[in-house]
Amino acid sequence: MSKISYIIVNIDQQRLYCIDHSEKKVYAYPVSTSNFGTGNLNGSFKTPLGRHSIAQKIGGGCAINEVFVGRKPIGVLEDLLAADEKLPDDIITSRILWLRGQEQGLNKGENNRGEVIDSYQRYIYIHGTSEEGKIGQPASHGCVRMYNKDVVELFDLVNEGCPVLIQEKEE
């Protein structure tokens, strides 16, 4: 059993907090959420708010700075750059915690206009990044980016199913 009860991502503070079973913040990490603000609409590149859970953990045992394309490891960032490999604009590295929305009509399924707002279908992750210099400020394309060493540590602290609350400000 994980010692982490749940995770809070605070957009205003650009921080991720791990909360234990006694409701204490036991870990705090700087993050980078969307450069486009918050929102749930597919294609908006915004970070979705509300209650989520970790649906899948991807990358256990991979090297730090392993690059993922389509959730598949393709090599270590430094090696790929040295080989002049074509990489996506938003490079996902080290580990992926794939989020599933828990609130129908907010971050799960479709909204009342039939538009996709589902965090899982939008491929919203907590993940490492090749742009560590932007951690602490909004810069992502919707996901929650972390320093690579931090996301590796977080990956080992949590289980699939761990609740994740993404909120604008601390409540």
Residues 75-89 pLDDT 10s: 999 998 898 888 888
Pick the residue with more confidence: 171 or 80?
80
**In the chain, where are the structural domains located?**
33-161
Residues 13 and 170: beta-carbon distance below 8 Å: yes
Q: What is the per-residue pLDDT across 84-104, written as a single tens digit (0 to 9) for each? A: 888 888 899 999 999 999 999
Reported confidence tier of residue 170, pLDDT bands at 50, 70, 90 = confident
Q: What is the per-residue pLDDT across 107-152, written as a single tens digit (0 to 9) for each? A: 999 999 999 999 999 999 999 999 999 999 999 999 999 999 999 9
Residues 6+ apart with CB under 8 A from 141: 34, 35, 36, 45, 89, 90
The mean pLDDT of the chain is: 95
pLDDT of residue 89: 84
Domain 33-161 has CATH 2.30.42: no
- CA–CA separation, 165 and 171 (whole Å): 11
Structure tokens at 126: 């907590």
Reported confidence tier of residue 1, pLDDT bands at 50, 70, 90 = low
Rg (CA), the chain: 15
Q: Give the length of the chain.
A: 171
